[in-house]
Chain A
Amino acid sequence: MSGHMMISAAEMEAISARHPELVKGSNHNRIRTIAIVVGLVLYMLYSWWFFAIGHVLGNANWNIAGTYLADWISYEVRPDVRIAADGTMQVSYPRFSPLGPNAGPDWVKLETATVTRTVGAPAASAGTAQTPKKSSSFSFMAPGSATGTAPQAATPAQPQTRIEEVVTRAEIIFDHSTSITVMEHTARATHAGETLLIRLDGPGKVKAEGALPRWASQPHPGEKITLAFGFTGWADVDADKVSIHNRFLGWANFIFDTNSPFFGKSFSEVMNLIVSGERIDPQMSNLALAWNNILYNSEWQHLDVWTKLLQTIVMAFVGTLFASLIAFPLCFLAARNITRNFVLNQATKRFFDFLRSVDMLIWALFFTRAFGPGPLAGISAIFFTDTGTLGKLYSEALENIDDKQREGVKSVGAAPLAVQRFGVLPQVLPVFASQALYFWESNTRSATIIGAVGAGGIGLKLWEAMRTKSDWENVAYMVVLILIVVFLFDSLSNLLRSRLIGKRAH
């Protein structure tokens, strides 16, 4: 090769003037580029219309998106302050509050008083139309009894005198700049340096004093006012009820649920109980009890989640392993340089294509019907699809081998099987194993989604947590586990593959 020829700028311009097509590029190419870009833009516009994307995004409930996202890493505690007609209050927590029964958190400050009050029987007051709400909120009967069943309605109700403890003032502190104080006929909310006073003069007479600050909204005059404090929570203020949603960072009751005897105890307390405490349950040691409580945590369902995750891993592992074991002998039939039989080659290849092209979804749905929901269906679906894919890849690898080794082995008079064993296998085995590993890893990921149609594994559990229960913190937990598993298997498979076929592992 001779060195570069140096040309001056003037000469270069002369050349470009003489052969403009060399410098400017061909019209054909330019038109093609423009056509591709225009086509892409048109296609994107068409899709925008086809999927009605603008319409859907415009109608989306974006407020709830923030709440759902916050749910991933935090939880709400929702006390209700119920206000009676006389201005006295009661604070209650929902049944499955993350604080457990008998909660008295320090961010709810109550002033109480003892009052004597005459309470009419529920059946009697249900007949009078004016005050059904009041009586039901102060009912001492079971909640269902307010409707009045037949035998109750028959017995005339006796007014009763009761001495009870009621709350006269409740202060809920969200954070250092945010709090709500509920007093007789007023609620005072403070947030970000602004204070809002709300008059609560009975149903339909909720009224803010002065203008509403930015964080408060009242869709209908006289009815409830919603206070949004951002991440720290929100509240609904109505005439007879103030609903508090106080948000805390973290996953509530991740280790012990509220029913566990270890609930609410510090780490050292739990350790003390396990090591030297008296048996809580005479049937088993405290260690076994604690472990049991963790596994069957009703909120997080650790054991179930781990079992389902293991199912997903197993589905990918067994499915890929079986697929490569079946694809291995078949690919020798499909490779035209190994088996010199056109019909057999084509038949095997079309069989692989068939297995591959019947989608994994179709296989998954069929095997879910055949075996019932569970990992067997997932294994079979992965097995069938990947026998096709791996078979195709394996036979292509076989067709690209170097023939010299085979000829060498053949020339010393080896039997046909020995030719394959010593002339072919050493060349392709690392490639085969590497591709199987790659699919193992990628199937670990895709096994999640076929699980969602019923083929076993964590997919269905994820789907239920999202669609039926909106337990986004559980979803986050499972996602974290899946990500850990995927990264682990990713590195493991990369490590094994680079061992098998050197540093360039693809």
Chain B
Amino acid sequence: MSVLSRELSDSGALVEHHWQELAQRRRTYTVLGLVVLFVALSASLWFSNETNAGKFFDRLPHLFDFVGDLVPRDGMEVVRALFDLPSPYDDGSFKYNYPEGRLYITDTLYVPEYFHKMLETLNIAIFSTIIGMFFGFLLCFLAARNLMPNFFVRGVVRRIMEVLRAFPEVVIAGFFLAILSLGPIPAIIAVSIHTIGALGKLFFEVVENADMKPEEGLRAVGGNWIERVWFGIVPQVLPNFMSYFLLRLEINVRASTIIGAVGGGGIGELLRLSIGQGHEAKTLAIVLLLFSTIIAVDQFSAWLRRRLVGDQAFQLA
């Protein structure tokens, strides 16, 4: 008991009692939550270790073995692999045969294989983000509460977007790989479909937060639905749309790399093959190229977004 403490009045004691009760309950919930989390985590770790091909503690000493596998015979090998230059170690095997992948434009001028494939992956990302943006743009106004009073239409469009977003990309890619031949188009379709759902959702949330005064003005002078949307809503949401488009582009560059690795062409496929076959210089060259491309795309998109919508562009999703 400190000097400050005094006998409390009845109501004061009641308040204190309630406060203590609340604090107690809060503590209990926190502890309970942590215990649940800990149990779930332990169970998950045990389960993943149990179902993994290699056991964690058996493999841990060998964790960095792959780093050893990744050391090229000399530093210049990476550069040679990157630019398809002939290697002094060329023994006729695929491992050191860099010039083999050259894509000749004229008799002497060529595009190195990895740059070509990187361009392909980038194009997959850009092309499908544009397609996704187009359809997301068309759909989002039908899903926004302030523009589509019809509950039924809104609900249907939102459900469609949800399914497009949640449908595993790998299944779409696999399905179209079975119908079309191997190549980047299944990847484009898969990424586009996912992008429609993802951008549609972000877009309609922006539209729902738009200022309705311009729309009311157009309604007052007798504008129809399309005119109201086009002249009243679109101008104010367009910068945000562009910002989300760029954000999605960053994500899609990664997504198209991954889909490439499961058979959708582009740089991802080459990376998977070269890691699998132990071509260390080629792997390093691809990783280097991919790494710098992703950084470049991120920086460019961040710069453009900052110009478009200021600093609020950095809230992610």
Residues of A bordering B, CB below 8 Å: 40, 43-44, 47, 50-51, 53, 56-57, 59-62, 64-65, 68, 307, 310-311, 314-315, 317-318, 321, 353, 357-362, 365-366, 369-377, 379, 393, 396, 435, 438, 442, 445, 448-450, 452-453, 456, 459, 462-463, 466-467, 470, 475, 479, 482-483, 486-487, 490, 506
Contacts and interface: CB of A to CB of B under 8 A. Distances in A.
A317 B40 contact: yes
Contact of B258 (A371, A453, A456): A453
Contact of A379 (B48, B63, B255): B48
A396 B162 CA distance: 29
B53 A479 contact: no
Contacts of B261: 361, 365, 452-453
Given A370-B66, A374-B53, A466-B175, A56 B167 contact: no
Interface residues of B, number: 67
A466 B176 CA distance: 10
Contacts of B52: 371-377, 456
Nearest to A452: B262
Given A361-B257, A375-B52, A453-B262, A467 B174 contact: yes
Given A311-B51, A374-B52, A361 B298 contact: no
Nearest to B179: A65
B263 interface: yes
Contacts of B69: 369
A358 B41 CA distance: 26
B44 A64 contact: no
Interface in B45-67: 45, 47-49, 51-54, 56, 59, 62-66
B51 A374 contact: yes
Given A376-B56, A453-B272, A475 B171 contact: yes
Given A60-B179, A318-B48, A466-B174, A361 B205 contact: no
Interface in B158-179: 162-163, 166-171, 174-175, 177-179
B157 interface: no
A506 B120 CA distance: 33
Contact of A68 (B44, B162, B178, B315): B178
17 contacts: A51-B123, A60-B180, A68-B175, A317-B40, A318-B45, A357-B298, A359-B254, A371-B63, A374-B48, A374-B53, A375-B48, A393-B316, A449-B169, A449-B170, A452-B261, A462-B170, A487-B162
Contact of A359 (B66, B185, B257): B257
B127 A360 contact: no
Nearest to A484: B166
Contact of B54 (A51, A57, A374): A374
Nearest to B54: A372
Contacts of A361: 254, 257-258, 261, 268, 271
B142 interface: no
B133 to A, nearest CB: 10
Interface in B264-297: 268, 271-272, 275, 287, 290-291, 294-295
A65 B189 CA distance: 15
A357 B254 CA distance: 9
Contacts of B184: 51
Interface of B: 37, 40-41, 44-45, 47-49, 51-54, 56, 59, 62-66, 69, 120, 123, 126-127, 130, 162-163, 166-171, 174-175, 177-181, 183-185, 188, 205, 254-255, 257-259, 261-263, 268, 271-272, 275, 287, 290-291, 294-295, 298, 314-317
A323 B290 CA distance: 23
Contacts of A375: 47-48, 51-52
A366 B66 contact: yes
A357 B56 contact: no
B180 A57 contact: yes
Given A51-B185, A64-B178, A370-B63, 20 more contacts: A51-B127, A57-B185, A318-B41, A357-B294, A361-B261, A362-B287, A370-B64, A370-B66, A374-B51, A375-B47, A376-B52, A376-B54, A449-B168, A449-B169, A450-B258, A452-B261, A456-B48, A459-B168, A463-B174, A470-B178
Contact of B181 (A59, A445, A486): A59
Nearest to A373: B53
A43 to B, nearest CB: 7
A441 to B, nearest CB: 10
A282 B258 CA distance: 50
A379 B174 CA distance: 24
Contacts of B163: 483
Given A353-B295, A452-B170, A453-B261, A372 B47 contact: no
A188 B65 CA distance: 68
B168 A371 contact: no
Contacts of A359: 254, 257-258, 290-291, 294
A311 B40 CA distance: 13
B275 A369 contact: yes
The residue among B167, B177, B314, B316 with the most chain A CB atoms within 10 A of its own CB is: B316
Contacts of A467: 174, 177-178, 263
A396 B185 CA distance: 37
A337 to B, nearest CB: 15
Contacts of B179: 60-62, 64-65, 68
